Chains A and B, each alone.
Chain A
């Protein structure tokens, strides 16, 4: 299985600012995903990060709020822009090994004041 790391592991931010979360995988992967997990809730897919093209966003998530980069097959970033307290959540990077099996990074715990 792929080893996935994320930076930062946690952060406390002021409203109106932006935070960029980095995801690094130890092997080349075709598919990378970004999820949000609000306290006590399930995992919600924000977008699929596509290498060499724009990310594919799920309903309710827009590029202006959550810009994503995927410069190569081992790295992606998610930016949470113009943050508000409602953005306080855990953000998880995920990759798929082969066609199906999906693994998750350790997550980034974000608190917006």
Chain B
């Protein structure tokens, strides 16, 4: 089955700096890659996603890039703010399958 690895497990950045989280997946049939943000005690919230026919997608301060050949995708947060502090999860969905496979999560701390 699909395996998604996520790095780093923790990330501490200074407010205003950029944060980058990287994920790799194993199944070349995966074609949908969402990112979730989970604040303490809250549900995971979808913040951005990308499909395999697109190499990059941006939404204000967040962007996601996808390299299908290398089977990895990354989340970029620019101009980080304290409210960006949370756990971020990447995930991958196979084209014809039903199961969304999650990475292990990255705990991001933005220091003011």
Show the binding face of A for B, using Cβ within 8 Å.
31, 33, 41-43, 45, 48, 58, 92, 100-107
Alpha-carbon distance A104/B98, docked complex (angstroms) = 16
**A-B residue pairs in contact (CB < 8 Å), sample of 9:** A33-B100, A41-B104, A42-B105, A43-B89, A58-B99, A100-B49, A103-B46, A104-B44, A106-B43
> By the criterion CB–CB under 8 Å, are B100 and A107 in contact?
no
- Point out the residue from A31, A58, A101 that lies within 8 Å of B46, measured CB to CB: A101
Beyond A43-B89, A107-B43, whether A101 also contacts B49 by CB under 8 A is yes
Residues of B within 8 A of A31 (CB): 98
Alpha-carbon distance A102/B93, docked complex (angstroms) = 10
Alpha-carbon distance A58/B51, docked complex (angstroms) = 25
Per-residue CB contact flags for chain B residues 42-84 toward chain A (1 = under 8 Å, else 0) read: 1111100101000000000000000000000000000000000
